[in-house]
Chain A
Amino acid sequence: MLVRLAFLAALLLDAAAAQAANVNVVFTDAAGHALTDAVVMLEPVGAPLPVKPMAGAQIAQKDLQFNPPVTVVTVGTPVLFPNQDTVKHHVYSYSPAKTFQIKLYAGVPHTPIVFDKPGVAVLGCNIHDSMIAWVVVTDTPLWARSAATGHAQVADVPPGNYQMHVWHASLAETTPPQLLPLTVAAGDVEQRVKLGPGGMAK
């Protein structure tokens, strides 16, 4: 699925590919350790880039954990919540990005949850307080997620001015969106982002 998305994106950006550059972001925490599952989103200043919902995503519940804990989807992407545990779960979210609940269920619910607003939805299980998952709903196609090394690459970014929006689960709920102006010209952009609960550190 992700392969297909990347392929699709590559097709979309193909026009500007000649001038396009890569934005490489290295995420670390306050102590300098690599941050996994940090998300970088590039929002163009001015007209937004067209974005299509992804074909679907899936957040499984296995071993009383959401898997994966962090999922990035574009706006309008339906997400399925297959329950692979033997116990039932009651998945909910009161986040403004998406408020929903799937009351006690087992197996794969018939209806996926469509995340139709950009933002971060925090998912929980009403039965198991320790279960938590985040769904980052983005309205830009220019986004990436850091690997275990803390590296995230947004490839083929057309030159222009952007708001670089970074997010990580360790950010406190009260922390406002972490935005950073970014200008992409010819050549790759290297960006290091140190994130604590209170936000980016310079």
Chain B
Amino acid sequence: MISLDRPWRKSLGARIIGLFLALLLAVQLVSFASLRISLSRHAHSELPARLVEGEQLLQTLLDRRVHAVSDIAAVTAADFGFRTTLFEGDENTTVSALDNLRRRVGATEVGYLGLDGTVLHRASAGNAPDIAPVIAHLKSQNPTSGSASEIALVGGQPYQAVLVPLKAPRLIGWILIAFPLDDTLKSDMKRLSGLDLTLLSRATGREPWAVSMTALDRSSANDLAENAWGVGAAGTTMVSVPAQGDELGVHAVPLGADRSLSAGVLALISLSVGDAVRLPSDLQWTLVLIALAAIGVFAVGCVLTARRVTTPLRGLADAAERLGAGDYATPMRGLTREDEIGALSQSFERMRTNIAENQAQVLRLAYWDSLTGLPNRARFREAVGVAMRDATDAKLADGTEGSVAVIMLDLNRFKHVNDVLGYSVGDQVLVGIAERLGRALAREGDVVARLSGDEFGILLRHADAQQAQAVALRIEQALEQALVIGEHRVDMGAGIGIACWPQHAEDDDALLVRAEMAMYAAKRRNNGPVTYDPAIDATSAQTLTLISELRQAVERHELRLYLQPKLALEDSRVVGAEALVRWQHPTRGLVPPVQFIPFAEQTGFIRHLTMWVFEEAARHWLSLADEGLQLRLSVNLSTRDLLDMDLPQKFGALLARHGVPAAAFCLEITESAIMDDPQRALATLDALSAMGFKLSIDDFGTGYSSLAYLKRLPVDELKIDQSFVRNMQSDRDDEMIVRSTIDLAHNLGIVVVAEGVETAEAWNLLRDLKCDQAQGYHMGRPMPVGEFSAWSTSWGMRRTAGDTDGVHLLH
């Protein structure tokens, strides 16, 4: 009922119970007290009346005795045999007849009196006390035909005497019957009225009252006897007399002839005031039992009521705690109650549902992307974690080697879409992409999420790198088709990165980071999905080592400058070379560029490499010029270079130091490098162009350079991506692209360079297409600078020795 773990005084239920029980007790005490008082008052007021009733009872009892005796005596006196005996019998017979009557009525004295009152014959029970005074009293009543009775002292004892006339047929004498007032009188009084009878007597007024009979204890009776019973007491209904510590209410009744109370017999009818006022003990017990029962019933009622109040309250408190702990699913109880508790429960229930809704909303916002309806990054991360745990559990359970793959995808130039077509179209593009990604996934349990603006993540459960690669290719194909948003057709490419657990990362965070790295690598390479490799990870231990080694490589002159020739298609003349960096590692040998260029770009070290390449190119341009080779050297600029606003100044200083003209260099920039931040890139390019550098768009055709940009760029050269060049002979589309690009470039007055020329057929085709220059293995691979002049000399000799068909020149 009251939980023990909280102090009872703090319990609402206990307080309700305590308060009500206290009130009940108070009410009962008050009612008990008032009952006592009113009973006491009543008893006080009733006392005199009771005592007076007692007098009547006493009188009745005395009269009854008299009547009983006189009736018997009258019958006997009328008996002819008795009368005959009295008048004709001898002395003994007469006395025995009287004695017979005496026994019959239970008296102690029976006498036959003559008409004048003289005792003619007498029968006594004992020692025949003097009965003359009684007779005198009786005679003084002057009875004629009826009987007379009197109470008087006989031998010092109160006697009741009856005088019955003897008729034959007229009065001829009297029968006197006398008997002491015995204890039956007081016991009858006690039994019938509860009153105590005490008889006092004295022969003369000068003597003290003596107790003749009493229902009280002897000492109380003596106390009563000592009271000054005077003439006045006879008239009063009640006199209070202290007796033995008690207070007695006494009603004095003079008995017998002497009503003056000076002598004779005095009956005292008494009652203990205390007893009368006191509640009867059985009533007291009854009241106590009623009180206890009431308290019991009340306590049970209070407890039940309190429980009806506190149990739901505790339930509400528990419910509030549950809400606080985040459990919004458990509904409230007691909703059907119609009282305040019910109202409170309903309020709680409304609060619960509202909070639950809000919580669900918060969760949606927290875990779901509102635009596409896809999970967001947080949710995705959780899903990845869950998938990894599931795989771990599966491995623990049955030893199967699970793996989890994450594909991360970032749309190319989405910012550009937003800028040009507006955010509305951008949003629709995102929704469309999300749909396509969803369609590209067939498997249950795989998750597509929107991680940030234009970045999506795909979780593949139980997939290794190979399977992930297949999915990534499918996604790439799905994205190839242009999205139609209203009147716009939008081509959206994307960088797709793949990372697998446990192959590439140990935990979910690392897995996501590495997938992201792979994605950025893919965007840079622009050559399809990229699976994570420590090499592309600037933070990987391998990369960190590589960076410090690369730094040392610059200091230790382990870097080598390679040149790949660029030839004029028209006359096969060497018109330039692309400067490329190679790393001659002391232990690993020649490190391929793909192993260090990407992370050099990522870490920013690429700027050192660019400067190194540019400086080396400048140095060698001078030496080549000394050898008579007037070549324009191409140097690649990375995104970071373009974003470096000091680059033109640095290049200028370098040109000045080496004393080479800017026009001797062509700076190659990829489309994507420009698109990362077109404005800054444009500013840098304008500055460089103004300095006299030639500018070239590298890998043209892979990006989405719009013609508008191309027109605004101070570009002197386009390099058609080698993927078109390689396929143009087999793919008419690629040939068209190449042809169109050449036409377009020429119309804009831009020189066109074809990369990846690996066959004579390509060479010839390009020449037919009026492409300006060509670069490729067919003519010459990238070669150390030292070998370049030798190759150039031999190429020149072959050109002058051979025909104009460059193809044949080369082999």
Contacts and interface: CB of A to CB of B under 8 A. Distances in A.
B171 A174 contact: yes
Interface string B95-117: 00000000000000000000110
Interface in A91-122: 92-95, 99, 101, 122
A142 interface: no
If over half of B's interface residues share one DSSP class (helix, strand or loop), that class is named, otherwise mixed; here it is mixed
B169 interface: yes
A79 interface: no
A95 B168 CA distance: 8
Interface stretch (B80-88, B213-221, B783-791): B80-88
A190 interface: no
B303 to A, nearest CB: 84
Given A173-B115, A174-B115, A174-B116, A122 B87 contact: no
Interface string A161-200: 0000000000011100000000000000000000001000
A172 B169 contact: no
Nearest to A93: B168
Contacts of B489: none
B170 A173 contact: yes
Given A129-B169, A172-B171, A94 B115 contact: no
Nearest to B174: A174
A122 B83 CA distance: 14
B23 interface: no
A124 B171 CA distance: 12
A126 B168 CA distance: 9
Interface residues of B, number: 14
B666 to A, nearest CB: 181
A132 interface: yes
A51 interface: no
B401 to A, nearest CB: 145
A132 B171 CA distance: 12
B769 to A, nearest CB: 183
Contacts of B144: 172, 174, 197
B172 A95 contact: yes
B169 A99 contact: no
B170 A122 contact: yes
A167 B222 CA distance: 57
Interface residues of A, number: 18
Nearest to B139: A174
A94 B170 CA distance: 10
Contacts of A13: none
Contact of B87 (A99, A126, A129, A197): A99
B19 to A, nearest CB: 85
Interface string B171-182: 110000000000
A132 B116 contact: no
Nearest to B116: A174
A124 B169 CA distance: 5
Nearest to B80: A126
Given A124-B169, A129-B169, 10 more contacts: A94-B168, A95-B168, A101-B84, A124-B170, A125-B169, A172-B171, A173-B115, A173-B171, A174-B144, A197-B144
- Shortest 7 CB-CB contacts between residues of A and residues of B: A124-B169, A173-B171, A94-B168, A94-B87, A174-B115, A122-B170, A126-B80
Interface of A: 92-95, 99, 101, 122-126, 129, 131-132, 172-174, 197
Interface of B: 78, 80, 83-84, 87-88, 115-116, 144, 168-172
28 contacts: A92-B80, A92-B168, A93-B168, A94-B83, A94-B168, A95-B168, A95-B172, A99-B87, A99-B88, A101-B84, A122-B168, A122-B169, A122-B170, A122-B172, A124-B169, A124-B170, A126-B80, A131-B169, A132-B170, A172-B171, A173-B115, A173-B170, A173-B171, A173-B172, A174-B115, A174-B116, A174-B144, A197-B144
